[in-house]
Amino acid sequence: MTMLVAPSILSADFGRLSEEIRAICEAGCDLVHVDVMDGHFVPNLTIGPVVVNAVAKAATKPLDVHLMVENNTFFVDLFAPLKPKYISFHIEEEKHPHRLIQKIRSYGISPAITLNPHTSPLSIEYLLEDLDMVLLMSVNPGFGGQAFIPSVLEKSQRLKEMILKKNAKTLIEVDGGVNNHNIKALAQSGVDIVVAGNYVFGSDNYKNAIDSLK
């Protein structure tokens, strides 16, 4: 299966945001990855629904909203009207993940859970069948352009085994430090979708960068 590519707009030129979104969609990306940070769960602050609405208008590919926030339910309600394909929330910040998964699905949106580098896939063993995607962080969330943490490869393999054992259809996405050097190992460890910020937006040809990951 071809690797799906979701460029993270965190590394885009925000002064020309709609132009940048159109460019990555024309360059053949599969999803547009939107990082929502609240300055509490992570030490950075990004964008809210007003800007994401502008992103949604410019995008011809579905949105993949990655919440890095303390109050997940509040943010799910805030972003659901923008109809992203996925909303993912961090398991480390949620007391009632099963309930929140159902809420996301009730909006007609695919629910996903994100795991920080230290979090075991066993933490979501009994949620796997309810999830359309699991997002594995390969950097500490908060910033683009950080170095890839290689232990995500073993984690992805273990998660893939768990998914196959349960006969679930859950996809695996990896986010952080993805580039042409680690993409093969990611594909071999069962990853279906990669997020790439700096690698795509830092290149002078978005199509070549996306194609090299596929």
Active-site residue (options: 30, 35, 132, 192):
35
**Site size for ligand DX5, by CB under 6 A?**
22
Which amino acid type is present at position 147?
A
- The span of 17-25, 47-55, 60-68, 178-186 binding Zn ion (CB under 5 A) equals 60-68
User: How far is residue 31's CA from residue 25's CA, in Å, rounded to a whole number?
Assistant: 8
Mapping DSSP onto H, E and C, the string for the chain reads CCCEEEEEHHHCCHHHHHHHHHHHHHCCCCCEEEEEEECCCCCCECCCHHHHHHHHHHCCCCEEEEEECCCHHHHHHHHHHHCCCEEEEEHHHCCCHHHHHHHHHHCCCEEEEEECCCCCHHHHHHHHHHCCEEEEECCCCCCCCCCCCCCHHHHHHHHHHHHHHCCCCCEEEEECCCCCCCHHHHHHCCCCEEEECHHHHCCCCHHHHHHHHC
139 binds ligand DX5 (CB under 6 A): yes
- The span of 72-80, 90-98, 162-170, 191-199 binding ligand DX5 (CB under 6 A) equals 191-199
- The DSSP bridge partners found for residue 36 are 67
144 binds ligand DX5 (CB under 6 A): yes
13 is known as an active-site residue: no
132 is known as an active-site residue: no
- The span of 51-59, 69-77, 99-107, 141-149 binding ligand DX5 (CB under 6 A) equals 141-149
Active-site residue (options: 30, 64, 132, 175):
175
Contact characters 163-182, Zn ion, x per CB under 5 A: ------------x-------
Choose between 35 and 164: whose C-beta lies nearer to ligand DX5.
Answer: 35
| Minimum distance of ligand DX5 from residue 126's CB (angstroms) | 25
Binding residues vs Zn ion (CB under 5 A)? 35, 66, 175
Catalytic residues: 35, 175
Which residues would be at the binding site for ligand DX5 (CB under 6 A)? 8, 10-11, 33, 35, 66, 139, 141-146, 175-178, 195-199
